[in-house]
Chains A and B, each alone.
Chain A
């Protein structure tokens, strides 16, 4: 009876077509996308709530902080739940697999630690506002989309949602000159990199006729594509440039030191861990699946970029006196180690990338949280020399910082040790002997500048910078203890994470 009404005909046809071709999102699709839904809704709600609360100063930081933590916790649980519904969502735009879940949990965890370490910081700088927390949530949404993307459109959208929110966060204290400068540099170079990535996507789309990773993979694997290798090679190279910018791999690392130094310390903690891990995740997924069949063409580029990144990061870090800048160069060097595992392009390599990024995220957040605690209002004390005597003045803070530094070096019993171990094991399995040797020599160089911080902390007399140091705030001490505990667990009992990483890196086949 309803069908006979002609004005309804198009609607029926559309509904029929949508179900026929599976365009209609099913209930499972929404479950798979639930973490992103929760965070986007709450992020938007925060913007409204900020307007309602207005200039009410006291307690605003606490309200938004706690709400953000609750949201992230809910999103974390949703991720675990969504992992029970593996497969494609929204007609193959997203793919929920172990690999995606691993990185989703990682970036949400990073977000929680970053929020915990910013309570006191925001209060100190008189900048408690809902935007900060909303932007952190939006950035995490972008990262979650990136790591589950199965389509170059989603890769691009995820990357941009994450990046645009992070550009604003980098310049969050808008009257601070260093914040402005960091935001401007991050924005200009980040958009520049995005343009390269997009141009690469356009070319691979032109060559293969699709933007889906699995279709591109099938295209490159099955047909005789030698005749348009120039086109495909250019596409892969352009996309490599875009991703290398985002993960701060040489020769595209120039933005990282300035941005990490200029941004507020908790934001630096966040963006040197979360967006970087997500960028690596999507880099690995695109190059291992879509460009997997032409691995012998891109491997030399990743090889040389890995070496260059490690050398530039470590040798530049030797000369730094500003601790944020030192940690920035150290994070470039660590990106180099991860690139070594990508150059190995095998399954052990992928699980090594996952393990290393988890360990790196924990120790990096911890180290920057110490900086956030130590720097005082306006980030006055950010030189290595200012840390003199911290070991005597605040033994707990110094001891936790020491754990992160030892993990950076790769001392046994820390996550950093097993991370490096698996990376170089993967490289040796792939016969990258020279790269492994040079990488290990590099980590010996790195030991020097990390140990210098330890020496300053424990073997020098406390200077005037110690006089105004407050005791650890609750938020920062929870961050520090959680990251230190995580670092140690990864170092003593790596099997827990590694088994999961091994099983989920099977997406390669």
Chain B
């Protein structure tokens, strides 16, 4: 019974599945907040990959990278939620389909 009883490739597969779920959520969900959550899911899938590779390579580079990703994701969330809030104030709706006033 060691920590290595779960093969590393399983983590990579899990990360790929999460990433694809994020893409699917981004493309098929119609609520702005859910779409935004899908993006966060994709970023976390990436973090999982980084940490896995880092463990496999016996390096800290990947761990450090995943911290940078978290910091940037937090900054992005702050800006993103602010943007979503102003959109809601102006339109009283969070459906993606309602935010399409620009057509030629």
Contacts and interface: CB of A to CB of B under 8 A. Distances in A.
Interface stretch (A22-30, A153-161, A344-352): A153-161
A304 interface: no
Contact of A160 (B26, B65, B76, B100): B76
A201 B57 CA distance: 15
B3 interface: no
A168 B79 contact: yes
A211 B90 CA distance: 43
Contacts of A177: 90-91, 101
Interface of B: 12, 19, 22, 26, 32, 35-36, 39, 42-43, 45-46, 49-50, 52-53, 56-57, 59, 61-62, 64-65, 68-69, 72, 75-76, 79-80, 82-84, 86-87, 90-91, 99-102, 104
Majority SS at the chain A contact face: helix
Given A177-B91, A198-B69, A206 B102 contact: no
Contact of B79 (A164, A199, A325): A164
Interface in A173-225: 174-175, 177-178, 180-185, 187-188, 191-192, 194-195, 198-199, 201-203, 205-206, 209-211
A262 interface: yes
A191 B61 contact: no
Contact of A195 (B39, B52, B79, B99): B39
A1 B68 CA distance: 41
B83 A178 contact: no
Interface residues of A, number: 43
Majority SS at the chain B contact face: helix
Given A153-B68, A199-B45, A211-B61, A191 B104 contact: no
A11 interface: no
B86 A171 contact: yes
Nearest to B16: A199
Contact of A184 (B45, B50, B76, B84): B84
Q: Which 3 A-B pairs have the closest CB atoms?
A: A206-B53, A195-B42, A202-B49
Contacts of A209: 57, 59
Contacts of B35: 188
Contacts of B19: 195, 199
Contacts of B65: 153, 201-202, 205, 211
A174 B86 contact: yes
Given A153-B65, A153-B68, A325-B104, A180 B90 contact: yes
Contact of B75 (A164, A182, A206): A164
Contact of B80 (A174, A187, A257): A187
B104 A188 contact: no
Nearest to A175: B90
A181 B83 CA distance: 9
A319 interface: yes
Contacts of B86: 171, 174, 180, 183
12 contacts: A164-B76, A164-B79, A180-B83, A181-B100, A181-B101, A184-B32, A185-B99, A187-B79, A194-B43, A195-B22, A209-B59, A325-B102
